[in-house]
A and B are shown apart, each in its own frame.
Chain A
Amino acid sequence: MPLLEVDDLHVSYGKLEVVRGLSFAIEPGEIITILGSNGAGKTTTLKCLAGLLPRAKGRIEFSGKSIADMPAHQIADLGLALVPEGRQLFPEHTVRENLELGAYRYLRRGWRADFAKNLDEVCELFPRVRERLDQPAGLLSGGEQQMVAIGRALVSRPQLLLLDEPSLGLAPIVLHSIFDAFAKLKARGLTLLLVEQMAWLALETCDRAYILETGAITLSGSSRELKSNARVIQAYLGATV
C-alpha cells in the first residue's frame, strides 16, 4: 500500500486553478522528487498536502487514511511533516527552542526522553546544529538554518517528510551535506518528498521523480530515466547556460 496517494487533486487561489488534476503515489521508504518550473504548482501541492491550503477537489490518502480537509495540526500529528520554502524558523528563538516546537506533538505530553533522543539524532545528522543549540536561529548562516528547519521537522518523528526547496540560497559546499543527509534518512526508513530546483542534485538523490507542468504531472519515471530524457535535460538539468 502506498504511504501517500494523491488522486485528481485540484487546488485554486480564488478563480485561479494552480493544481489541475494531480495524481501520484509514494511507497514507504522512497525518495520522490517533483520537478517543475516556477508557477507549475509545486509549493501549492506541498502546502495542500500539509493542510495549509484547502483542496478544490480530489483525494489525498496518507497511510490509507483520507487527510484532505483535515486541519494542518492533525496532519502533522499523523506523521506528515513539512519543511517549508525559505526555512521559516522562529528567528528570535534559540535553535533548541525551535526544535522543541517541532516536537510539540509529544512534548506536550511531557515525553522529554523521546525529545532528547530525537534531538540527538538530528545533531548526529547535522553536527553543526549541536554547536549552535543555544544561539538565536536568526543569527545562523543560511545552510545552518536549513539544517535546523529540517531538524525541526525530524524531531516530530514523521513518517513522511515534505521538503520545499531545501537548496534555496545555499552555497555549493553546504548543499552536499544537506543532500547526503537525505540519503541517510532514507536508510533509516524515512520516506521523503522533495520539491527542488537543483534538479541534478535531486535526481542524484531520489528513486523516482515526477515532472509537474501547469498543475499536472506530464512525465514520471526513475531518476535514471529522467536524467537521460532530452526535455528534462533542457528544462531542468541545463547542460550549458
Chain B
Amino acid sequence: MTERFVPWLVGLALAALIVLPIFVQGTYYRFLGIVVFIYGIVAVGLNILAGYAGQFSLGHAALMAIGAYTTALLTKALAPLPFFAATGLHIWFGVFAGTLVAAVFGALLAFPALRVRGPYLAMVTIAFGWVIFKILQEWVPVTGGDLGLSSIPKAQLGPYFFDTGSFYYVVLGLFVATLILQYRLINSELGLRILAIKHSEIAVSSIGINVYRLKVLVFVISAAFAGFGGTLFAHQQNYVSPDNFQFFSSVFFLLAVLFGGAGTLMGPVIGAAVLTILPELLQDFEKFRLIIYGGFILLTLYFLPNGVMGLLAARSMGARRTAIDSTVVDAKSADKLATTVGIGLQLHNICKSFGGLQALRDVELRVEPGTIHALIGPNGAGKTTLINIATGFYPLDSGEIVIDGRPVTVRSLDDAANQGIVRTFQTIKLFGNMTVLEHVVVGCARHSTSGYLGAIIGRKTARHEAARNIAIARDIISFVGLALYENMPANSLAYGHRRLLEIARALAVRPQLLLLDEPAAGLVAEEIHTLGRLIRLLRASGMTVLLVEHHMELVTSISDRVTVLDYGVVIADGPPAAIQRDERVIAAYLGNPHAAA
C-alpha cells in the first residue's frame, strides 16, 4: 500500500524544495539546504558501499576531503587563465577531477577490504581517514596545513557567478541526479551483484563473478560519490581546512546511513537531512543541545533498528504467494533451456591433507561428458573436499585436474565457473532476503554483454538484455519448480526449496558440468522423484552432472556411474547395480540391505 505513495511523496518533496526557497528570506535556509544535499550525496555513496554491499567504511570524510582539495588546488591554479576566467570551465573541470581522484583513492581503500571484513575493515578505513587528515595538516606547501585553502573560486558558468541562492538549485539538481544514479545502479544487474556480495561472497564467486574486482568497483563508485560531494563543498564554502574532514564527519555519514535506513534508496537522504537540520533546531537548548541530539539518535535506532526507511520496507514486504504446492518440474520450460555440450572431468592422483590429517589419498575420478556420475561415501569420507578441489576452492597438494582432455589449473570458484563447472553447496549459500527471481537473474547476468555503464545510463540494448535475462530466469525457476515462489525472499523458503534455488542459480550460469552437493537432502519422496526427472532432463540437454548424494534410491536410479569414497580413498567405482552389491560398499556405507531400498 505504502509503495504506491512513494512517487507522489518524492514528487511533492521535490516541488517543495524548488518552490519554498522563493518565499524564505535570507540565505540561511538555502545554505542549510546545500549542506544537506552535499552530505546527502556523500551518504548515498556510503550507502551503496555499506548499506547495499555490506562493507562498512569510517573513512568517507577523507574521500570527501580528497575531492575538495583536488578541485580547490586545480581551480585556484587555473582561475587566472583568461580562458577559464571567461568560461568558468575550470570549476567543472575541477569537480570532475576531484571526483576522479577520490575514485582512485577508493580503489586503494578497497585493497584492505579484499582481506578484512566487518569491524576490521572499519578499523582500516579509520586509519585511512586519519592518514589523509594528517597529510592535509602537515603537507603545508600544498594543503596550507591547519589553515587550509581559502579563496577557492565560486561556481561559475560563463560570465555568471553563482551565489548561495542560485547555487542551491545547482546542487539540488546534482543531488537529484545522484539519487537517480543510485536508483539505476541498484536496479541494474550490477546492483544485484552488489546486493549479493553482502550475503555470500563464496556464492557470488561460484556463479563466475570475480569477487575482488566487484569489491574494488563498489569502493570506486562509493568513493566517487564522496569525492563529488567534496568538490561541491569546496565551491560552496570557498574555504577548506582539515577540520572539515575529521573522524567525526566520517562517523556522521555512517550514522546518517544507519539512521535513515541502510540499503534503502531514500534512507541516507533522510538520515543526512535529519542529522544536519536537527542540531540547528536545537540551538535554543544551548549546552544540552548535543545531549538531546545524541539521545534522539539513540532512541531512534533503539525503536527503529533498521532505520527510518526500514520501518516502511518491513510494512511493504507483502507475499504474493497464492497457493503452496509440492514442487513440479515444468517440462515445457525444460525445452527452453539451452542445450549444452557437457564437458568431461578427470581427477588424477589427487592428494590433500589438512594439518596432519590426510583427507584424500591418490583419488581417481573419471566423469564422462554428458553422463550423470554419482560420488557417494560415509560422512567425512572426503567427498566435499574433492568437490572443493575440483572447483578451485582448495588448492590440491598433488595430482592433476583434466577437463576435456586438457590438464588445467582451477584457481578459484569463479575460475571454475568460467571453465564450465558450476556447483551447489551442501551448506546452502544463498543471498539472504533477495528474492528467488533475483538470485537467478544474478546468475544469468554473467552472460550480459552490454556492460555496467549501459545498464546505468539505461541504454536500449542493456534494457533488452535485462528483460531477456529475467525471461530466462523465469524459465529456469519454473524448470526447478519454484515458479510459485518467484517473489519470495530466499530466507523465508523451506529448506528443500532453498536447495532447488541453489540449483536454479547454478543453471543460470549455463554450466557444462553441474556439481550438485546433496541436492536431495530435505526433500520428501515425491520431490526427490521430481529432482531425479530434473537431473535426467539436464543430461538430455547435454550437460554433465556430478552428484554427491546420500539418497541411494536417487543415486541408483539416475546415475550412469558411481564412485565410492571412504576415508579419502576410492573403494569402488562402477555402474550402480554393481556398487549396490559390492561388499566393501555395504560394509562402509550402505549398512543393512534395507538402507538401499
* Bound CA span A144–B558, Å: 29
Contact code string B577-597 (vs A, CB < 8 Å = 1, else 0): 000000000001111100111
Question: A241 at the A/B interface (Cβ < 8 Å)?
Answer: yes
- How far, in whole Å, are A153 and B125 apart by their CA atoms in the complex? 43
Q: Mark B316-359, 1 if CB is under 8 A from A, else 0.
A: 01110101101100000000000000000000000000000000
A233 CA / B576 CA spacing, docked (Å): 24
Q: Which chain B residues border A2 with CB–CB below 8 Å? A: none
B492, B518, B552: the one within 8 Å of A16 (CB): B492
- Is A40 positioned at the interface, with any CB of B under 8 Å from its CB? yes
A171 to B494, CA, bound (A): 22
The stretch of A25-33, A58-66, A172-180 in contact with B is A172-180
Question: When A16-B319, A172-B591 are in contact, do A38 and B525 touch as well, CB less than 8 Å?
Answer: no
Q: Which of B6-14, B89-97, B217-225, B373-381 contacts A (4 or more CB under 8 A)?
A: B373-381
- Which residues from A are CB-within-8-Å of B528? 238, 241
Who on chain B is nearest to A237 by CB? B525
Q: Does any Cβ of A come within 8 Å of B497's Cβ?
A: yes
The 0/1 profile, CB within 8 Å of A marked 1, for residues 539-551 of chain B is 0000000000010
Residues of B within 8 Å of A102, CB to CB, are none
A168–B554 Cα distance when bound, in Å, is 15
Q: Evaluate contact between B523 and A38: CB separation under 8 angstroms.
A: yes
Q: Is the CB of B319 within 8 A of A37?
A: no
Q: Is the CB of B529 within 8 A of A172?
A: no
Q: CA of A199 to CA of B551 in the docked complex: distance in angstroms? A: 12
Task: Bin the interface of chain B by size.
Answer: 35 or more
**Residue with the greatest number of chain B CB neighbours at <10 A, chosen from A36, A38, A86, A234:** A38
In the assembly, what is the distance between CA of A165 and CA of B518, in Å?
15
Assuming A37-B527, A39-B497, A236-B524, is B590 touching A172 (CB within 8 A)? yes
A143 near B: Cβ within 8 Å?
Answer: yes
Q: With an 8 A cutoff between CB atoms, is B521 at the interface?
A: yes
A85 on the B face (CB < 8 A)? yes
A169 to B518, Cβ gap below 8 A? yes
Which of A14, A37, A172 interacts with B318 by CB under 8 Å? A14
A168 to B522 alpha-carbon distance, docked (Å): 6
**Could you say which residues of chain B place their CB within 8 Å of the CB of A219?**
none
Shortest beta-carbon distance, A140 to chain B, in Å? Answer: 8
As a 0/1 sequence over residues 182 to 208 of chain A, the CB contacts with chain B under 8 angstroms (1 = contact) are: 000000000000000101100000000
**Given A15, A172, A175, A200, which contacts B319 in the complex, CB threshold below 8 Å?**
A15
Q: Which of chain B's residues have a CB closer than 8 A to the CB of A171?
A: 376-379, 550, 589
Task: Give the complex CA separation of A38 and B523 in angstroms.
Answer: 7
Q: How far is the CA of A154 from the CA of B541 in the complex (A)?
A: 49
Q: Any chain B CB within 8 A of the CB of A23?
A: no
B430-460 contacts to A (CB < 8 Å):
none
* A56 contacts partner chain B, Cβ-Cβ < 8 Å: no
Q: Is the C-beta of A70 less than 8 angstroms from some C-beta in chain B?
A: no
Chain A hits for B588, CB < 8 A: 173
Is A170 positioned at the interface, with any CB of B under 8 Å from its CB? yes
Residue of A nearest to B376 (CB): A171
State which of A37, A174, A199, A215 has its C-beta within 8 Å of the C-beta of B379. A174
Q: Does B87 contact A (CB under 8 A)?
A: no
Chain A residues in 8 Å Cβ range of B166: none
Can you list 17 pairs linking A and B with CB atoms under 8 Å apart?
A16-B492, A37-B326, A38-B327, A38-B524, A39-B324, A39-B485, A86-B427, A141-B378, A142-B379, A172-B589, A172-B596, A214-B324, A234-B525, A235-B326, A235-B524, A235-B526, A241-B553
- Report, nearest first, the 9 A-B pairs whose CB atoms are least far apart: A238-B525, A141-B380, A38-B496, A172-B595, A173-B591, A142-B379, A141-B379, A16-B319, A38-B494
With A38-B527, A170-B550 given, name 9 new contacts (CB 8 A).
A15-B318, A38-B495, A39-B497, A144-B379, A165-B495, A169-B518, A171-B378, A171-B550, A241-B554
